Amino acid sequence: MQVIVDNWRQTPPVTRSIFLVTLALSLGVTLEVFTPLKLYFNWKLIWNKGEYWRLISCLFFKGGLTPHTIFDFYICFRYMYSLETSAFRGKPADFITFVFLGCSFFLIAAFTLGLQNMSGAISAMMLYFWARKNPNIEMSFLDIFHFRSCFLPYFLFLMIMLSGYDTMLDLLGMVAGHTYYFCEEVVPRIPQTRSLRLLKAPAWLTAICQFFRLHQFAAADGQAAAGGGGGGGGFFGGGGFWGEDDPRAEELEQ
């Protein structure tokens, strides 16, 4: 039990909060507290009947607790955890901005394209941005296909397409992840736009994160890892999907 508590404490705050919301929605449907019909995106019900919770539930409801849902849980939160503890380490306001901008884009897409559940797009966005930040990790599938991690989103997209499933959510997630990566990682490196951050977290959000001491999690997590003599902790720590996190990834990228 103590191991579970320690791992939970090592899970970063934003990932922890989103995980709780997602788990609560899935448990609510599994236990028949409410039905999925109360959770999907429906603009008429949101606007005319004030069912504003649908703006949140359509983004984070992944379905009842089935093997497929648990796998989607792992994909989403494994890479969300990895991003918050590496690329966004000590920058909770930037990570919240990343999630908020992605969710805003998905809601607009749901309104214009008539989509109802956008949780798969968030998983795809997390995976795509992680792959761009860690492009040189060696991965394999069934020990047959070997490729670098930068190709993982495209590989999964192809597998989903060949399986006959709808790829719209995955495509939207990749577009959102690529847009953020381009604005935050590519634009500041161009000589004409050096140091320009188009999607920088607002000062008021940074102040709120500092008030609640969310920035201090990175230092505490680093001390815990140093004291434990091991790698990443938390429920979603450890090796990456089909590969291990490479501490040299960002160095190799540069």
pLDDT digits (tens, 9 = 90+) for 208-217: 999 888 877 7
Q: Which two tokens stand for residue 28?
A: 């609510």
Output the six-digit token pair for 6.
């320690």
Q: What tokens does 7 get?
A: 């791992």
Distance CA 69, CA 99 (A): 20
Q: How far is residue 135's CA from residue 153's CA, in Å, rounded to a whole number?
A: 11
Task: Please give the Cα distance from 173 to 192 (Å, whole number).
Answer: 29
pLDDT on residue 43: 95
pLDDT of residue 138: 86
Average pLDDT over residues 234-240: 43
| pLDDT at position 221 | 57
CB < 8 Å & 24+ apart, contacts of 53-58: 55/107, 56/21, 57/25, 58/107, 58/110, 58/116, 58/117, 58/118, 58/119
Higher pLDDT, 108 or 254: 108
pLDDT value, residue 219: 53
Q: Write down the pLDDT at residue 1.
A: 66
Higher pLDDT, 73 or 181: 181
Tell me the pTM. 0.84
